Amino acid sequence: MLEDGKLFKGINIGCSGETIGEVVFNTSMIGYQEILTDPSYCEQIVTMTYPQIGNYGVNSVDVESDKIQAKGLIVKEFFDYYSNWRAEGSLEDYIKKYNIVGLAGIDTRQLTRHIRLEGAMKGIISTETEDESELKKKIEGYPSIIKRDLVKYVTCDKPYIYNPKKGDYKHIVVAVDFGVKMGILKCLDWEGFRIIVVPASTKPEEILKYNPDGIFLSNGPGDPAAINYAVTTIKELIGKKPIFGICLGHQLLAIALGAKTYKLKFGHHGGNHPVKNLETGKIEITSQNHGFAVDEESLKDIASTGCKVTHLNLNDNTIEGLEYVDINAYTVQHHPEGKPGPYDSRYVFGKFTELIKNFNN
């Protein structure tokens, strides 16, 4: 059941029980394991718009964190059997392992159209009761994603070096973990960085003690305006080191500089979002997962930073990239690592190297 009373009845997959979260839809045709383990889906129930899910199984490689982060899974046709040379198990066993309550056999196209029209909203999956008034009461009593700090549920507990065995590296980067995806860390590693990952609550002076060549602000879940401690930290880091941010990191840097964010009607979740690079004129097909965006009108208040929009989403003209020339920083809203999705935007990791070189010169 959705927050507005819309009801869908189907077949239970995974564990029995109840789960509540914000219901969103993802348009990727593949990558359900990466999607489920993406920390940015904390407190969200994911509806896959592609009808057949589970047919290639799961493995220990295609994960973006150490567990399933989504609150639930909704699909049209669910496969508990699979066929793929990389598979190590079934999706059914995988979601049961992490106690995920799921739903199959419903009209996911109808659900997706409803969310597109009415907006993302809270919902509940239940095997416990069919009493509609009881379900609606449970939804109403559950907190909204807005103004909630979800980062505290997904950040690491203590600092660690992601690639300790890496001998030949160009630069040292501190990655502030707001819910970082493994795919992003892999891309930073491939670019040649030694990566020190620190918890989201790490103080600015502790970050600077590592004497990094650059600072990376990671992706993560929820409302950026609720992460006050992160904004305070970023304010203290601005101008002291080159900064690169992705997704939530993109939004947090904008807020730290004085811009504002707002909640999108149904968010961007999928691997087929067209983004225009305003510097080259090229169109990139991107992977995305966010429910909030930077308010373009508010950028006029931070013009002193040399702020300029570098990328635009062609579906709704929302901001997908910002560069702050005067403070050696740039950010993107989409996910350049893909995972799942295309690799059209992976060049932005190389841009981080260029930013550090220019800063040092």
273 is an active site residue? no
If you average pLDDT over residues 178-188, what whole number do you get?
98
Q: 47 - beta bridge partners?
A: 25, 74
337 is an active site residue? yes
Reported as a pLDDT band with limits 50, 70 and 90, residue 304 is confident
According to the CATH classification, is domain 151-360 in 3.40.50.880?
yes
Residue ranges of the chain that CATH labels 3.50.30.20: 11-140
Of the listed 42, 187, 247, 307, which one is catalytic? Answer: 247
- CATH fold of 11-140 reads Glucose Oxidase; domain 1 (3.50.30)
DSSP state letter for 42: B
| Alpha-helical segments (H) within the chain | 32-36, 91-97, 108-118, 132-140, 182-190, 204-209, 228-237, 248-257, 347-360
Residue 306 has pLDDT above 90, yes or no: no
Of the listed 171, 311, 334, 335, which one is catalytic? Answer: 335
Of the listed 3, 64, 320, 337, which one is catalytic? Answer: 337
Rg (CA), the chain: 20
pLDDT at 167: 81
187 is an active site residue? no
Residue 361 has pLDDT above 80, yes or no: no
Give the chain's mean pLDDT: 96
Residue ranges of the chain that CATH labels 3.40.50.880: 151-360
Other residues' Cβ atoms within 10 Å of the Cβ of residue 133: 9
